[in-house]
Each structure stands twice: as C-alpha cells, then as structure tokens.
Homo-oligomer: A and B are copies of this chain.
Amino acid sequence: MARPAVFDSEQLLDAAVRLAASGGPAAVTMSAVAAEAGASSGSVYHRFAGRTALLAEVWLRTVEGFQDGYFKALDAGVDARQAGCAAARYVIAWSRAHPEQAALLLYGAEDFGRAKWSEEHVRRADRGNQRVRATLGSLTADLGGEGPQAAEQVALAVVDLPLSLVRRHLRGGGRLPAHAEDLAERCAAALFDSLHGP
C-alpha cells in the first residue's frame, strides 16, 4: 500500500555508532550519518526529528543493549560475590564483542546532548539509571556493605573499573587483551573483600 523503506532507523543508528566510535559524538552530524549509510539527508530527517533526537536514540539504544545482558549477568551467580564478579566480567566481554558500541559507552549522556533531549528520552535514560542504582544497591546489601560509601565502592568495582579497563585499551585503537576479564574480576573481588576486611 506504500513505498517500501530503503533505510530504516536501525541502519541509520548503526551508521551513527560507527561515526561516534571513531570520532566521538561531535562526528555524528546529520549529513555524516546520511553519507555513512549511503542515504540522503532527507532520509535521515524522515526518521529522526533532528540531531538532538538522533543523538538521544543512538545513546539510549546502546546503553539499553548493554544493560540487557548486564542485569542477566548480575542475576546469574549463586551468591552476591559471584554475581558481582560475573557483572565485572560481562562489561569486558560485551565490550570485546561490540567494540564500537563500547566506545560510545565511554562517553556520557551529557556528551550526547542530554540537556536538549525531549522529556520522553530523559525518562528512558532515568528509568535505566534507576534500575542500575536499585540493582547495585541490593548487591551491596547482599555483600554485607552498609552506607553510601559501600554502594559507591561496589559501583566502582562492577561498573567504573571495568569500563576504565576498556577505555585504557580501546582509546588509541587497540583491542582488549585476553586477560582483561580475569583482571576485571580480580579487581572487583578485591574491592568486595575490602568492604568488611581490615
């Protein structure tokens, strides 16, 4: 009943991911995305209300894709310590499997223009953040940690520290070494143990 689409949103977002991975959020312009996907600028504007919306979509799709597996990894372990270690490993494994998307994750929502996002996009971002906060809060409790400092230490162990490891290797075009998962897990475990230890 109508002309079939040649370019769908996913294709254009894929192009945006490639651009952001190699040149940062600033490289994601409407015309660059069009060129990267082999489309015209009109096609990009047909799918996205403007650059602000495109940046929000590419960020949210990436973060939500990452979080999907992240929560599964956290649920898998038999005890809290194993769950936390699995989460730390997952950050590395996912980044190894999706290096371009991982490069996106090393930026923040602010770098993708969060200040200009629509309410709907902000809500989607907040929902994800809220879910992470809640999950890490109960992980902290299960690990025997108490107070905001303990929660922060756990967040560092299972989010920031693995991401730092990714940043250290992906910035500069390299790949993640084979031992990265082990290193992330060892560091996370050390931080878990120091929650009560001496």
Contacts and interface: CB of A to CB of B under 8 A. Distances in A.
Contacts of A110: 24, 171-172
Interface residues of A, number: 31
Interface of A: 24-26, 108, 110-111, 149, 152-153, 155-156, 160-161, 163-165, 167-168, 171-172, 179, 182-183, 186-187, 189-191, 193-194, 197
Given A160-B161, A164-B161, A187 B111 contact: no
Q: What 8 A-B pairs are tightest by C-beta distance, nearest first?
A: A190-B194, A160-B164, A190-B190, A26-B26, A190-B191, A108-B171, A149-B179, A149-B183
Contacts of A25: 26
A160 B111 CA distance: 20
Contacts of A152: 165, 168, 183
13 contacts: A24-B110, A149-B179, A152-B168, A152-B183, A153-B186, A156-B165, A160-B164, A160-B167, A163-B164, A164-B164, A186-B194, A187-B191, A190-B194
